[in-house]
């Protein structure tokens, strides 16, 4: 069973570090499905944003401990993908307004 591109790419990661990577070296960060592999992520980004992907790096982000008054727990763990575009590829338009 194949997954739709919208089910693989869940959300962009908007941080100072990710924006610096997008501006300087065409590296864009996304929150992705936990069961997605690098090939599926690359195809989903190419399909959604009409760009050429050179490389995909993935990592699991561990849930952080949080307190609310006397109650404590953990935030959810998630998977992050850092997608590097080819040099001749255009930038992703969504990130253009952020930079």
**The model scores a pTM over 0.85:** yes
Query: How far apart (Å, rounded) are the C-alpha atoms in residues 25 and 65?
Result: 32
List the beta bridge partners of residue 72. Answer: 67
Give residue for tokens 């989903």: 44
Residue spans per domain, the chain: 5-87
pLDDT at 98: 66
Residue-wise pLDDT tens digits, 32-53 = 999 999 999 999 999 999 999 9
Partner residues linked to 44 by β-bridges: none
5-87 topology per CATH: Alpha-Beta Plaits (3.30.70)
At 94 the pLDDT is: 76
54 pLDDT band, cuts 50/70/90, is: very high
pLDDT of residue 99: 65
Query: Does 28 have pLDDT greater than 90?
Result: yes
């Amino acid at each position: 069973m194949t997954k739709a591109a919208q089910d693989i790419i869940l959300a962009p990661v908007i941080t100072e570090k990710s924006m610096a990577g997008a501006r300087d070296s065409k590296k864009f960060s996304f929150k992705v499905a936990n069961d997605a592999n690098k090939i599926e992520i690359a195809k989903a980004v190419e399909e959604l944003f009409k760009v050429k992907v050179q490389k995909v790096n993935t990592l699991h982000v561990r849930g952080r401990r949080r307190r609310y008054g006397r109650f404590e727990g953990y935030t959810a763990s998630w998977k992050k993908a850092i997608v590097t575009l080819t040099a001749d590829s255009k930038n992703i338009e969504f990130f253009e307004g952020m930079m």
